[in-house]
Amino acid sequence: MRKLNVLIILFVMIISIATAGAVTQFKTSISPGFYELPNLDERAEFTLEIENLESETKHFRMTQMDPHWMIQSDPTSHWTSGITVPGRSSVFVNLYVKPSGIDTGRYKVILQIRPKDEQVMKKEELIISIPEPSSRVYQPAIKTEIEVNEENDPREPFRISIHLKNQNPLDITELRILVRSDSEEGDVLINQETVTSLKPVGESGDEKIVVLTKALDPRMTPKNDKIRVTLFYNNELVEPTIPASDVEIIAYSEIILSEEIEKSLLKRVTTTTYTNDGNVDKSETIKISTGWFAKIFTKTSPESTLIKDEGKYYFVYDLSLKPDETDSITVSTNYRIPIALLIIIILIITGYFVFRSPIIITKEVKEIHKTHDGLSEVKVQLHIKNRSAMTLEDVRIIDKIPSIAHLEKVFHVGTLEPSKIAEREKSGTVVKWEIDEIERFEERLIVYKIKTRLAVLGGFNLQPVIVRFKTPRGEIRRARSKMVIVKT
């Protein structure tokens, strides 16, 4: 029997230890600690925090046993179905408590929170007061919500919306609203004051939205700031203090360009002006496209770098501008010099072909023989060519033989004989050939021999041969060969 009792005691102890180890560890808290209802038609608002101290997710249920109070949650499922709290974390629940069938006074509503399927429980007291309307001097109770953009572009007006809701029967005829920014460096973001009113709770006008706007300097320096909204009633600060709102003036920058083009004959000058339309410094690499031929005749001011990228040529310039600062790049392409040189070359070539002699005449010494008595016999060849596309008429060929030599008057068959030979003792012999016409691109060959009168040492000169002819337009023109040196 004693052994059985010992076993039963051990079993109970083991069950107790196991049960104790399975109790969920958690904490709860409620805020505010006290809520005053303006009247019996309103509802009190509380926030419940449930902190799960376990590493596993737990499910909690809420209950209250007083039938004179109706409790709802947001969302509703938290009150009806319970709350799931992950391990090592907290969940906040909004509770709305409304009286039912009770009179004015001070009440305590007991809220019970327990984990699912466990007996352990924590209690929170919801203390609610409903005073007599005639015996109450109301202090301002205003629910305030601030709506403001966290990021603001200074090019756009700064806008702040203040949502106000009166939460008690006090008729607020003059509510002063002060809106200011914390930063005192540079431009003040906002520092404005306005006055409004709020009707007692439950009446039309107990809720308002006050909107304040301010035009900012578009070049306002980027910065972080805090916006504080303060309410005053009867020159006294309305509690509680409204938390400050964080705002930021964002940075922006954009390079805006404008072009001015000047065109003249074979010259183009493009001036591009770049402006930093922003509130921060802006650096950018400017690439100006050019052609492989145009780059040779293009200059930039200020001087830039020429690069080749993917088969295309660019003038590259590093630009750095402060807000509202401008800079200009001038690109000048001038084809006047190369075109002028080209025209000159064309004119020279054209003039050469226009003004050159249509006849080419050359005088050459083909053979030189010495006789037994020391005299020299020279064979001379005259080559006449019409290199033009026109027929030349009345062609006269005049050659002069120096006095130290005389012309052999025996001519080979097929050789054009002179039409006139004039011998002069001092000046030498003048030989003349006459040809009625020479067709275009026609060539003529004249060969004759001369023999020196005395033995000549070293050599002598043969004067240039002269050709006189008439063009189809009736012009009389002349051409001449070079002097020939005969070395004996």
Instruction: Indicate the pairing of strand 142-148 with strand 236-237.
Output: unpaired
Q: How confident is the model over 70-81, as pLDDT tens digits?
A: 999 988 999 989
Average pLDDT, integer, range 331-360: 89
The residue written with tokens 């010099």 in the block is 337
Whole-angstrom distance, CA of residue 134 vs CA of residue 137: 8
Per-residue pLDDT tens digits for 147-194: 999 999 999 999 999 999 998 888 999 999 999 998 766 678 899 999
Question: Which DSSP string do the residues of 394-438 spell out, in sequence order?
Answer: EEEEEEEE-TTEEE-----TTSPPPSEEEEETTTEEEEEEEEEEE
To the nearest whole number, what is the mean pLDDT of the chain? Answer: 88
Question: Would you state the structure tokens that stand for residue 318, as one six-digit string?
Answer: 């590093």
Give percent of the chain with pLDDT exceeding 90. 62
**Residues contacting residue 20 through CB under 8 Å, at least 6 positions apart:** none
CA–CA dist 450, 432 (Å, integer): 15
Residue 17 vs residue 113, higher pLDDT: 113
CATH 2.60.40.10 fits 142-249, yes or no: yes
Q: Which is more confident, 135 or 282?
A: 282
Listed by start position, the domains of the chain span: 25-135, 142-249, 255-336, 359-486
CATH (one of 3.40.1110.10, 2.60.40.740, 3.90.79.10, 3.40.250.10) for 359-486: 2.60.40.740
Predicted confidence (pLDDT) per residue in 243-283, tens digit: 999 999 999 998 999 999 999 998 999 999 999 999 999 99
Q: How confident is the model at residue 19 (pLDDT cuts 50, 70, 90)?
A: very low
H or E element in which residue 210 lies: strand 207-214
The Cα 381–Cα 56 span in angstroms is 126
Section 320-349 average pLDDT: 92
Q: Which CATH class is domain 255-336?
A: mainly beta
Nearest Cα to Cα of residue 443 among 362, 366, 376: 362
pLDDT of residue 42: 85
Q: Kindly state the average pLDDT of the residues 27-38.
A: 86
- Helix (H) or strand (E) holding 78, with range, is helix 77-80
What is the spatial distance between Cα 364 and Cα 341, in angstroms, rounded to a whole number? 38
Q: Is the CB of residue 253 less than 8 Å from the CB of residue 278?
A: yes
Distance in angstroms (rounded) separating the CA atoms of residues 206 and 379 = 135
What is the rounded CA–CA span in Å between residue 80 and residue 91? 16
Band of pLDDT at residue 459, cut at 50, 70 and 90 = confident
pLDDT at 239: 87
Per CATH, 25-135 and 255-336 having the same topology is answered yes
Encode pLDDT of 349-377 as tens digits. Answer: 988 887 888 999 999 998 888 877 777 88
Condensed to tens digits (0 to 9), the pLDDT of residues 373-417 reads 777 889 999 999 999 889 999 999 999 999 888 888 877 777 888
Query: How confident is the model at residue 33, as a pLDDT?
Result: 80
Predicted local distance difference test score (pLDDT) of residue 3 = 57
Cα separation, 396 vs 460, in Å, equals 25
Q: Which of 279, 263, 283 is nearest to 271 (CA)?
A: 263
User: Taking residues 411-432, what's their average pLDDT?
Assistant: 85
Tell me which residue of 124, 131, 92 sits closest to 108, measured CA to CA: 124
Q: What DSSP designation does 379 have? A: E
Q: Is the pLDDT of residue 12 over 60?
A: no
Half-sphere exposure of 148 (CA within 13 A, CB side): 32
pLDDT-derived band at 131 (thresholds 50, 70, 90) equals: confident
pLDDT at 20: 46
**What is the C-alpha to C-alpha distance for residues 451 and 369, in angstroms, rounded to an integer?**
9
Overall average pLDDT of the 419-425 stretch: 87
Nearest to 93 by CA among 72, 107, 109: 72
CATH of domain 25-135: 2.60.40.10
Residue 19 three-state SS: helix
